[in-house]
Chains A and B, each alone.
Chain A
Amino acid sequence: DQQVKQNSPSLSVQEGRISILNCDYTNSMFDYFLWYKKYPAEGPTFLISISSIKDKNEDGRFTVFLNKSAKHLSLHIVPSQPGDSAVYFCAANVKNTGNQFYFGTGTSLTVIP
């Protein structure tokens, strides 16, 4: 049972434009969310996180939005750069009760120069 879903396996965006990656979850108990970036044959790299007490968190070009009622979060990258081309995973967990992070299947972002 996939508790975290990324319904878009791929996304192409022109350099300089905004990239929006989406993630949906089913477990209303999730209260901590992460976005990771992964290049081929490398481990994931942490990008940005958000706790359920917030609905937005910004870090430079990256902003994560959380809509708890819709069980939806999104990652905005603006402006997009060719070096952002990678696979992006969202992950969720119940922060204070366990170590299990549930990952989405990833969205492959290609930023076209």
Chain B
Amino acid sequence: GAVVSQHPSWVICKSGTSVKIECRSLDFQATTMFWYRQFPKQSLMLMATSNEGSKATYEQGVEKDKFLINHASLTLSTLTVTSAHPEDSSFYICSARDTLAGTGELFFGEGSRLTVL
């Protein structure tokens, strides 16, 4: 099946620094990618929809200046957590849908665990 890769899988940073997480579709093109955040024992929460070549669409309550999303190519979307604080510590997951296949199935990355000290 299609593969979505996230990097890094685990990152620790100091409070106030910025962290970039990459999401790549390895064998398919994705005009749209999605970024989720998972809190412990809670459901995946959609943060934003990343659109290739245009601005991301953020869900209500998600600060777009805090979570910068760039979707520069059909296979890469990046999420940058700016001026990270301990409350930003979480598990971030991206997903993508094969633009050409049209099955509706979402392929997920492995997730990135962010710990802010």
Contacts and interface: CB of A to CB of B under 8 A. Distances in A.
A42 B111 contact: yes
B108 interface: yes
Interface in A1-29: 2, 4, 9
A45 B91 CA distance: 16
B41 to A, nearest CB: 8
Q: Which of B104, B107, B113 has the most CB of A within 10 A?
A: B104
A4 B46 CA distance: 14
Interface in B82-113: 91, 93, 95, 97, 104-111, 113
A60 to B, nearest CB: 14
A103 B91 contact: no
Interface residues of A, number: 23
A80 to B, nearest CB: 23
B46 A89 contact: no
Q: Which of B1, B41, B43 has the most CB of A within 10 A?
A: B43
Contacts of A4: 43
Nearest to A46: B105
Contact of A43 (B1, B49, B93, B97): B93
Contacts of A105: 41-43
B77 interface: no
Given A49-B104, A93-B104, 15 more contacts: A2-B43, A34-B105, A36-B108, A43-B93, A43-B109, A44-B44, A44-B93, A45-B108, A46-B1, A46-B107, A49-B105, A89-B43, A100-B46, A103-B44, A106-B43
